[in-house]
Amino acid sequence: MQNAQRGVDAQDIERDDPRVAAESESSKSAEEAITPGVLSGRLEGNIESHGRSLSELYELEFTQLEAGETRMEVDFAATPSSIVYRECYDSGTFALGSLKEQKFALAIPVMERGTRWWGQEREGSLVPSSVSGELIDVRFAPGHRHMVMVLEHAKLQQALVKADFSDEAIRSIEFGREHRMMKFHDDSLRHLSGKLAETIDAAVRGRHMVSGEELDRLLLGAALAILDHGPAEGMTPGGKRQLVQRAIEVHDRMKIFPNVMTLCTELHVRPRTLQAAFQKSIGIGPHRFFQLRRLNEAKRRLEIGQVGESSVKEIALGLGFRELGRFAVRYRELFGELPSETLRKRGAVTIVGIAR
């Protein structure tokens, strides 16, 4: 049966969808009906600590692109097999990396103007998705807010098969797929966003509206509702985005810190071509991007430390900053404090509240 004939939408997550019920029964029998609990709370910190708090789910590198101290708040509700969390970016941020350990994620937009997924702005009610091992490449615009559902890939795949989804739908969650955006309807997306926000808020405040098993079913049902509409064509990384990815890979492979001309030589492209690719995909030129990336890496090392680097001077020189005075000025312009202040603070994630 074709997806369009089933007509599944976000309302399915509010009733006992037999597709999800079948998956739930399978899980119960396998685990002797043990119901997992819900761990929830709020994490506060900066971009670096935010990256560390997500390290169980992702291998991600965050680069702060705009001046000023950036604070992050993440509200979450999780079970042993799935998680939904809400995050907000108050300044321009570039994220590059991938999901870990056989997972599948969907990002439900709440507020998004100017954010670029794989070098392109999201169109209409499309939902970005990610498979473990697949490149995540996002330039978050200031004020961007979304909710992310992360599920076990095998469990989601099993649910799709049991629900008689088409082969095309099943391929849409596999590594190596062609399209990474999923189609949905505006009304259904708003309904789903509201439902997930309500669930997160109740969990964070300690008033759990759902048990762990019910939260798993809610997130699985939401994923099925979105995947039922199929992938969106035409939202795959283009040539300019691929050039940016290659430039980052070449830059990271080189033992020195190459300038733009050296990168162009390695990539066999003109400087104008590389400049246009970075402007289109990230919003800044390659020289500024790699400078910001090194400054962000310096902040990360100052905060958490690294073997053989115990001073500001060692860290700055190790990242190719030869003029320490200029390094300190640029660092303060971007992060609002001197490198020595960061070193003294050794900041960490603040756990505001945890509920079980």
pTM of the complete model: 0.77
Cα-based distances in Å from 236 to 100, 137, 182, 190, 324 = 21, 11, 12, 24, 41
Give the residues of the chain that fall short of pLDDT 50. 1-36, 235, 347-351
Residue 83, SS3 per DSSP: strand
Question: In terms of Cα–Cα distance, which of 254, 337, 332, 239 is closest to 290?
Answer: 254
What residue ranges define each of the domains in the chain, with the CATH number in brackets? 3-227 (2.60.120.10), 239-345 (1.10.10.60)
The pair of structure tokens assigned to 222 is 């939401």
Q: Beta strand 136-140 with 93-99: parallel, antiparallel or unpaired?
A: antiparallel
Evaluate whether 170 touches 121 at the Cβ level (below 8 Å).
no
Q: Which amino acid is at 289?
A: F
pLDDT tens for 165-200 read 989 889 999 998 888 999 888 888 888 999 999 999
Evaluate whether 108 touches 127 at the Cβ level (below 8 Å).
yes
pLDDT tens for 32-72 read 333 348 899 999 888 888 888 899 999 999 999 998 877 88
